[in-house]
Structure formats: C-alpha cells, structure tokens
Structure 1
Amino acid sequence: MRIEWDVPVEMDDGVVLRADVFRPVTDGPVPVIMTYGPYAKGLPFERGYPSAWKAMARDHPDTVAGTSNTYQNWEVVDPEKWVPDGYACVRVDSRGTGRSPGRVDPFSPRETRDFHDCVEWAGTRDWSNGRVGLNGISYYAMNQWQVASLRPPHLAAICPWEGASDFYRDGSYQGGIRSTFWDNWYDMQVKTVQYGVGETGGRDPNTGLLICGDDLLDAAELAANRTDLGADIAAHPFYDSYHRDRSADWDAIDVPVLSCGNWGGQGLHLRGNVEGFVRAASGAKWLEMHGHAHWPLFYTDYGVDLQKRFFDRYLKDEANGWEDRPAVQLQVRHVDATFTERGEDAWPLPSTRWTKLHLDAAGSSLAAGAPDAAASAEFAALGDGAEFSTPPLTEETEITGPLAARLYVSSSTTDADLFLVVRVYSPTGDEVVFQGALDPHTPVAQGWLRASRRRLDPELSTAHRPYHLHDRAEPLEPGEVYALDIEILPTCLVVPAGYRIALQVRGRDYVYPGPSARLSNLKNDLTGCGPFLHNDDRDRVAGTYDGHTTVHTGGDHASYLLLPVIPGAE
C-alpha cells in the first residue's frame, strides 16, 4: 500500500482536519471508502478496545486472518482487506479529536458540513475515480445518514452498519425517557482522545506521532474546546431543531443504501437501520439484519464480502448481480443462538400475520381472545412491574418484524414511564437471552414510552409502528385511564413448541437475573440493557415518577401485544 499520514484537509472556516490515506500502488484512479469520526485514527483497535478485540479474535478468528492487523481501528474497515481489491481507504479525525484541532460537537451541523467537505475533497483527488462510499459502524454509520442528507456530489453509496438515524428516538430519549448513554460514552470514548490531551492519549505505533495532536492543552482549554454533550441533550427534552439537525432527512437521501442492523441492538443499533431502509428516498436500497455482538460481524468474511459486493457495484460499476438480490436479507435467529439466512422482498415481511395477544391481569396471561371481565395489575412505578405470559406454544412460531402494544394505563401521579420487555421462556422456565450488540444477556425485544408523550403522529403511525411526536408533555390526571400505543423495536426469533412468550410491563430498565459482564470502553456493568440505561434522577424526578402504575385489562380496556407472526417457520 501507499500510505499518507496526517494529510491536511481544509474546511470552509479554515480549520485543517487530518486524514490518513491508504491506497493501492497504482497510477490509476480508484474508488474511496471513507470514515469521519471522533475515535482517533492513530489509536489501534487492540490497544483502545482490548476486551472487544479479544472477544472478536476469539469468537470470529476470520476477522484477524489474512491481515497483519497493523492498521485495524475501531469500527472502520481494515485497509489491508480493501486496498488489494482496488480501493483507497480514507480515515479523517473529526473536528477537535485525534489529530484534528477545533471544537468537539458530536453529530452537529458543523460536523456534518465538515464530513460533506471531506467527501468532496476525496472525490476530487487525482488518485480518486470520483466515487466515494461511506462504510463503518455506529458513529461511522450514524453520520452517514446525516451527510447523505446533504447530497455531496461525489458521494456514490453508503453502508451504515448498526447506526442510529434519529438522534432523539433512537438513543437520546427512547420513548421520551432520557438515556444516559451519551453522557458516559462522551467521557469514555471521546474526551480521552480529544485534540490536545498530549501523552495521555498515547502515540501511534505506526508513526510515533502523538495520537491526539502536537499541542498540549490544559483542562480549562480542553473543556472550552468541547460542548457539554450531556447538558445539551438534557436541555432539549422534546424533539426540536436540536435533534432534527442531528438526524436524517429521509427525503434527501437518494444514493444507494445497504443498511445493516442488529437484532440485539435495541439501545442504539437497530431502529435506525430499519427506519433508514423503509424511509430513505433512494430507489436502490437493501436491508440486512443479523445477530452477534456489535462490532465483529463487520470484520468477518461474511461482512466484508457483503460490503465489497455492494461497493463493487456502485463504486466500480461491476455487473455482479447485486440488484438481483432480495431487498431484505435476514439472519433468522433461533433459541440456540444459531441463524438461518433467508431473503425477503420487503419490510415488514409481506407474509406477516399480525397477531394480537390480549393481556389478562386476572391470570397474568396473554391469549388470542380479549377477556370479558375487567381486571388490573398495579405496581410500584419504579419497580419490576407485571408480567403476562402465554401458555406453552403448541407449535413452532416465528416472530420477525416490528412489534407494538396498546396498553390501558393509569397512574397515581401526573406521569409514568413504561418499559416493555418481550421475553421467551424454555419449558424448564429459563429465559432465552442472546449476545446483543453489547450486552451478552439481551432480551428478545424492548420498547419504552413516557405516558405524557403519548401523542402520535397521524401520518407516520401504523398499527405495528406507533410514531410519537415527542413535541410536548401532556400530564396525566391521576387515576384516569389512558390508552397508550407503544412502539416495541423489531425482533426475530423462531420460538419452538413448548416455549412461552411473555410481555413484562416494567417501571425501570430490564435486569437480567444472572451474572453481569463488562467491556473496557464502558462505564457500567452490563446487566441486560448494556450501557443504554434510563437512570437520570433529573429526568425521572421524585414525586412524579415514583408513585404507582396500573395496567388495566379486559372489558373496555382491551390491552394487547401485537406480534408479527410469520407463517411456515423453519
């Protein structure tokens, strides 16, 4: 490879960002795979994220085979696996991070404009064929949706791998309830590699350069050069221009899209990929849904081959039959954590049999018929709630697609937070959980709603995907019963006969009743929801969220869970 370190890329306001460029030893122009983000291009994957690296190498040995791993970085492509196939790989440190000076403001319009200009810079180099593709995980996926909304002329295709697209609904305020994820992420993964931290940021083993720039800034200067992300989010509890500016503009996204999501990415790495596939204006778009942990599959032979076939078609014009593949490629999940690959024509799946299971508080049951008699289940509003279960299934049942619930709820106070968990139990009573995007004990599906945010968008809502406006609070009248339509994020599972399906309605985050786990880049132990917790006391204030919540069933209050049942499960 030809490698150019720390190449200057000047922005419209004069700030010079820094990029590393890996390209073939050839004089001909080649297409570009680009990433722009805050994780420091000089920080090796193995050093910066050691527990994730060890797990990936152990469980997916093909991820570290066929490469020296010298240039492996967190959540971006390995140039040793791409450059030999005729691609240039460009990594840009985003403004204020790594070796790029400036003020850190993640996902802001300033960052998105920078990314736009970096795409145009790469598309106009003499070694570029003028086609730039974007490919990366998480942050490097989320900002693909944003920059594609600006339509850079040299942007030719995007592959957002497990990345949110709605800054409010996908990660900051799930169901209107504030998540503390971004606060902790900022401390652990961005501030640690902010431009100017000096030797504490380490040195790039390939260049010997300081990973975070040659300037040394004191604590006050560092703080002045970054936004307070947690405070920014807390200051915008409703979906307003702040969140809109950090989200996709679906009508503007017209380039080919390969959107890849994770069944176990309920906190950040699932909803946005499905929404992106369904709502992007592009006439050439595909959805791929898989399981496993968040980062490894991207680097496996499966992931790299999938990505290359997509980009070969749209960055090289190779006639490889990509357009003939099904619009939706599923890794159908089984209770033993194995997968069966299957293609489908659309999302939700055309064969879906939408099935209502009604709650009955009298017997804590879920059943096809609505109970005639009214009943109720009351629980502490910050507690573990009430659970409703089917009897053992009489036949194998596949559930694949978006879920929803309509619950009739009252509160002893003026608001209530609802945490919905779809659970599956084996004949011996053991809960079926999976290695999720981050948490090794992730439940089958989750949804959230703050009752005061119950107002729906009439244009975007469907029976299987309630879409909440989140533009105002409408307090509850204590004791009054309200109908709440609640989005539950998509899932996929073939449930064997003899297993039970349950819906738990909780007042706090799900907790797996077993051992926790840990990743080196996260603050909290992983207890079932990964780092995506809703435990900010400033958001769930005493006197409003610590009363009692009641779920009403039967009679005039036919609460139900809506399941996407797929006939003819394998």
Structure 2
Amino acid sequence: MSGNDQRSALRSRMSVLALGLAAVMLAAICTAILTAPAAPASAQTAEIKRMFDVRTPMRDGVELSADVWMPAEGGPFPTIIIRTPYLKTMVMGDFSLAGWATYFAERGYAVAIQDTRGRGDSDGEFDFFFQEGEDGYDTIEWMATQPWSNGDVCTAGVSYLGTDQWLAAREHPPSLRCMVATAAAGRWMHELPYYGGAWMMAWSLDWINGTSGRNMQTNTAGMDMESVYWHRPLITQDDVMGRDMPLFNDFLENSTMNEYWERLHFTEEDFRGLDLPVLHVTGWFDGDQPGAMFYWDGMMAHSPAADRQYMLAGPWGHAETFIGGTLTLGDMEFEPHALVDNEAEHLAFFDHYLKGTADSYDQPRARIYVVGAEEWREFDRYPPADVQATSLYLSSGGNANSIVGDGALSWSPPADDSPPDEFTFDPTRPVPASAGTTFLGEDRTPLHRRDDVLVYTSEEMDEAVEIVGRVVIEFHAATDARDTDFVASIMDVYPDGRAVNLGPNIGVVRARYRHGFDREELLTPGEVARYEIDLGHIGHSFEPGHRIRIDLTSSAYPAIAPNQNTGNPVATDTEWNTANQIIFHSLEYPSRIVLPIRARRRATE
C-alpha cells in the first residue's frame, strides 16, 4: 500500500481522534477555569461591588484590562489576581470565572481577573509567556496601590494562569505574598511545545490557532485536520490550516533548549530568590504535571520558603486539577472522596497566608490520592521518604510484538542473554496516541494488536504494589535510521483484561535528544544506544490479581508528529523513511522500568 493509500485508510478511523487530541489540551485549559462551582446561597457573606474594564498601565505604556470584584462595604481588602489569555468574560453554562471571583469577594477579598496582553480587552500583542513576567509584576504592583487593596496580593490560576504566576514571581514584586499555582507548565522541550524532544503537532496547531487574535478562534468545525497533519514541511502547516501563525513558526525553528526557551526556564538561582509560600496543585493525569513537579522540586531544593510549600495531587486530568476532580476518566472510575472542594482549598490557604485571619494552614506537606487503593495519603515530604526505586525487567523470546507475543516483565534481571525484539516503524502508518478520543486512563488493548507495538506484561500481583513518584523506562535500542522516536506507556491490566493507561502523557524520547535537549546528536545506524523515557509521576496501587504492562513503539499520532526517520531538520523535512527498530534486554544491554515502590500488602491486609 502506498503512503497516500495508507494515510487515506487512516482518515475514517482517526477523524474523531485527530480533532479530539488537537483540542483536548486547549479545551481543558479553557474549561478548567470556567467550571468552578458557584458558591451556595447560604455561604454568601457580603454584598459585592464590581468594576469592569479596569485599565492597568504596563511599563511600556500598554494598558491591560481587568474586571474586579470586592465586598461592597469596608476595605481595603487583600487582593487575589488571576491573569488569563482565555478571556476574563468567558462563560460555560452556569459557570464562569466571575462565579469563582464572587466566591472570594463574598469572603472578604478583592479579586482581579485580567486579560493578558493582546487578548480580550487588553492592548498590545500576545507573545506566549515571554511578556508575562514584566506584565505580571506591573499588574501586581499597580493593583496593590489601589484604594480598595490593602497592598497584600496573592495569585491563582490553572495551566497558563499557573505559569504566568511563576514568571511574575521571578520578577520579585514586593506586594506578592503567596501563590496557588495549579497545573503550571514549565518544562520546555519536555512538556510544551515538544515532549521528550518530539513535536507536539496537534496541540501546537490547535492552541496557537485558538489564541491568535484577541478572541478565541474556534471556526475550525468541519476542517479536514488529517490533511493538515500530513502536510510537509511542518513549518507551513499553519498556512494549510488557513492562518499564518508566527508563534508556530518560532516554536518549530527553535528546536533545542536555546536562548529562545531559556527566557522562560527557571534556574536554581531563580528558585533561591523565591521566598513565597505556594500551594502546588497537579494530577496524575495532568498534561502539565511535568511543569508542576519541576516547580515543586525547585522550590523544595532551593527556596528559603521550602517549609511553606504544599502539594495537592489527585486522580485528575488537566481541567480537574482546578474544578476539584471527576468520578470518571477514560476507562477508570474513582470513589466520591477523590473529589475536593477547590474553592475551600484555596480559601484555607488565602485566609492564612494572605488575609491572616487563620492562625495556621493546617495541611501536611503533601496530600496525594493513590488510585487503585482509592485512598488519600499524607506525607511530610514528596516523593515520600519510604519510596524505593525498584526495577521490573523486560524480557522475551524475541517475539514481544503485539498482545499475542511473548513479552514479559520480571522482578529479576535477565539470567542469560535473551534475543532482542524487532519491529518496523513506518511513519506513514503511525500508531495512534489513543484507541478512542483520549489516552488518559483509557484501555490501550486495541492498540496492542499491531505488530509494531511491543507488549511486556508481568505476572499477576499476589500482593498490592503501591507506587508513588516518577516512573522511568531505561532501555537499550538500535535502529537503521539517523533519527527516530521511541514511545512508551505503562498500564494496569485488570482481571477483566483491560489495560488502563497511567500517567499524564504518552512517554516519548526523540533519539537526537538522547543526551539532552540543548543539542541534537544524530545516530550511527546500527549502533546500540541507551535511552530513558520519563512517564511522569504516578500514584497508583496495582492490586492483587492485576498485572503491570508496558508497551513500546515509535509513534503517537497525531499528538506527536511522526518522526520521518531522516535526521533532517524537523521543521523543513519533506522526506519519509521507515526505520527498523531493535529493543535489547540482555545481560549486556538490559532494559527495565524503574518503579517508585513504597508499599506492598497482601489482599487480606
């Protein structure tokens, strides 16, 4: 079958997925800030005063627009600021940012929700996060001097609205007292707009298009996204989609961790300069978990306020980190106590660190929910002190291809050399990122029928195995290509056969970045190389009767642009090559998944 025929055959099967994955992160980001439950009438404690289109001057003369809520009587008030590129006026059903702001205004706070530069009612030109440090500083300090503010400010928000808090804090605004940073992006090249060095095609097209202009750009209904995804070179995909997107081009042209991205990257020195209490919120299925954990690690290791850092992590996707959770995700179901009252969580933190009316913030250093055990755990540090890195080794008889192959996982290293596993990666026939419309918590079994997917499964657990922390696959591989991708997932295999995907993303490593994102090093065809795939942080218990599974392949379409296996510059490449992949698991070249195990318990315990 020709490449064109293969792509045509994919279209019917992938149409929903193509649109779904392209939109999932933007939709989650937008809806997350719109779906906080409104305060019940019985909880209202004050009449509210509102001020719309409050013009806030920036240092370069540009004015940004904010809407402000506060109690109608009294003052001045401690002030909460949210800064959003998704429009301060957006409404979804009965929920809105205005409802969220009203909740806190009823409880004695002034709340300012501002359109970021170039978005909504604000002047200037939007430029991703690059302007948010200075604009955030100027906004905080201007708001703090208003007669309705008492000069004490805390920031809040999810996703982009979390990241812009960190960038503002790095500028050290004197009036900033604390932050609640939820699902904040921060690991460039391994979160946005690349993941493991691989180009996040669907997200980049959809998110950048959606934020082009002052209002949300949503007129893509009926668009043949498949034809856009398959267009090469990638650098002109935006034109095929119908819009010149300078950010899209800039992102593609800056494909290493260079000066362009270093403007956003936090260093150890940056964290040492942040003496602020922070509530860090993320989820085990949150696509921006890499950034959230990066900020957590940096503050705990270097900040003088390490003793005032707090983590809340639940069984949540990106949106759910802000709205308080969900009872279902993909093919998973959670207990009702997995939900939290998001507004109450914020209020308890603000009342102590911003308003000062609460004597303490009575929460442990880390509260995390363990899926499978369906229980909340409290720790005085994260990762927990009792975690032990434990290896689960890959093995096979040389035929781990598909679910009917002989791939296995064992707690013991290989006793002797076992034959490697091989598959052919054809980038014109990629493995879908999802068997349906989202890879989060979904059953990946339908994808395991393909011969270009290697499947390794453990024996049934005779005791529960609880993991809490970062999961990594370390493996040895060879290819006949100058560059290629390796893609991996970890799953909980239920007794009924479902293989439910765990973690915030499909794990990816682009071979040219195997030694770091600051440089590109092409492969020597046929040479064995060592790789790591970061599967993110996971809090999960593999219960008795369940099994652990990983899959290894080379694509996750359309979330990741298929590697064309040429070694050419990604942005301008128009050639396509197949790659013959070899995965080793021998004494000389072992491959393993490293699990952060903290407990094992029998079914009767």
Larger displacement relative to structure 2 (381-390 or 32-41): 381-390
Residue 320 to residue 535, structure 1, CA distance change in 2 (3 Å): farther
1:105 aligns with 2:121: no
- Are 2:118 and 2:213, in contact at CA under 8 Å, matched by a contact in 1? no
- Are 2:477 and 2:531, in contact at CA under 8 Å, matched by a contact in 1? yes
Letter in 2 for 1:552: F
Distance 2:504 2:112 in 1: 37
Residue equivalent to 2:350? 311
What whole-Å deviation, never above 9, does each CA across 1:461-482 have from its counterpart, x for those lacking one? xxxxxxxx31111111111101
Tell me the secondary structure at the aligned position of residue 374 of structure 1. coil
Residue equivalent to 1:116? 137
Q: Which of 410, 417, 441 is the matching residue for 1:373?
A: 417
- Are 1:34 and 1:134, in contact at CA under 8 Å, matched by a contact in 2? yes
Residue equivalent to 1:364? 407
Distance 1:536 1:152 in 2: 43
Distance 1:413 1:401 in 2: 34
Give the percent of matched residue pairs that are identical in Structure 1 and Structure 2.
Answer: 25
- Are 2:71 and 2:108, in contact at CA under 8 Å, matched by a contact in 1? yes
- Are 1:390 and 1:500, in contact at CA under 8 Å, matched by a contact in 2? yes
- Are 2:136 and 2:167, in contact at CA under 8 Å, matched by a contact in 1? no
1:235 aligns with 2:253: yes
Distance 1:308 1:10 in 2: 29
Tell me the secondary structure at the aligned position of residue 396 of structure 1. strand
Residue equivalent to 1:276? 295
Distance 1:150 1:444 in 2: 30
Q: Which of 539, 553, 556 is the matching residue for 2:585?
A: 553
What whole-Å deviation, never above 9, does each CA across 1:457-505 have from its counterpart, x for those lacking one? xxxxxxxxxxxx3111111111110112332211111111111101111
Please show how residues 480-559 of structure 1 align to structure 2 within 5 Å.
Answer: 480-509=527-556, 532-535=559-562, 538=570, 541=573, 546-559=578-591
What is the TM-score when the length of structure 2 is the normalising length?
0.73
Residue equivalent to 1:210? none
- Are 1:446 and 1:489, in contact at CA under 8 Å, matched by a contact in 2? no
Residue equivalent to 2:469? 401
Provide structure 2 residue ranges, at least 5 long, that are not aligned to the other structure. Answer: 1-47, 220-241, 325-339, 398-405, 432-451, 565-569
- Tell me by how many angstroms 1:319 deviates: 3.6
Distance 1:40 1:549 in 2: 46
Letter in 2 for 1:451: A
Residue equivalent to 1:165? 186
Residue 419 to residue 494, structure 1, CA distance change in 2 (3 Å): same
Residue equivalent to 1:18? 65
1:140 aligns with 2:184: no
Distance 2:349 2:99 in 1: 14
What whole-Å deviation, never above 9, does each CA across 1:276-317 have from its counterpart, x for those lacking one? 111122322111101234334524562111111111111012
Please show how residues 320-399 of structure 1 align to structure 2 within 5 Å.
Answer: 320-322=359-361, 324-334=362-372, 339-362=374-397, 363-371=406-414, 372-381=416-425, 382=427, 383=431, 384-399=452-467
- Tell me by how many angstroms 1:398 deviates: 1.0
Let me know the Cα RMSD of the aligned residues.
2.7
Please show how residues 465-484 of structure 1 align to structure 2 within 5 Å.
Answer: 469-484=516-531
What whole-Å deviation, never above 9, does each CA across 1:405-444 have from its counterpart, x for those lacking one? 21101011112211110012112211224xxxxxxxx668
Tell me the secondary structure at the aligned position of residue 499 of structure 2. coil
Please show how residues 216-235 of structure 1 align to structure 2 within 5 Å.
Answer: 228-235=246-253
What whole-Å deviation, never above 9, does each CA across 1:219-256 have from its counterpart, x for those lacking one? xxxx99x9621111101000012112123343333211
Provide structure 1 residue ranges, at least 5 long, that are not aligned to the other structure. Answer: 47-63, 201-222, 434-441, 456-468, 511-530
What is the TM-score when the length of structure 1 is the normalising length?
0.77
Name the count of aligned residue pairs.
472
Tell me the secondary structure at the aligned position of residue 140 of structure 1. helix
- Tell me by how many angstroms 1:445 deviates: 6.2
Residue equivalent to 1:184? 206
Residue equivalent to 2:8? none
Letter in 2 for 1:39: Y
What whole-Å deviation, never above 9, does each CA across 1:34-79 have from its counterpart, x for those lacking one? 1112111122233xxxxxxxxxxxxxxxxx6xxxx5xx13xx8712
Residue equivalent to 2:402? none
- Tell me by how many angstroms 1:395 deviates: 1.1
- Tell me by how many angstroms 1:446 deviates: 3.7
1:449 aligns with 2:509: yes
Residue equivalent to 2:226? none
What whole-Å deviation, never above 9, does each CA across 1:88-128 have from its counterpart, x for those lacking one? 110111111101121111101x2321111001111111211
- Are 1:7 and 1:19, in contact at CA under 8 Å, matched by a contact in 2? yes
- Are 1:20 and 1:90, in contact at CA under 8 Å, matched by a contact in 2? yes
Please show how residues 279-294 of structure 1 align to structure 2 within 5 Å.
Answer: 279-280=298-299, 281=303, 282-283=305-306, 284-294=308-318
Residue 547 to residue 568, structure 1, CA distance change in 2 (3 Å): closer
1:130 aligns with 2:151: yes
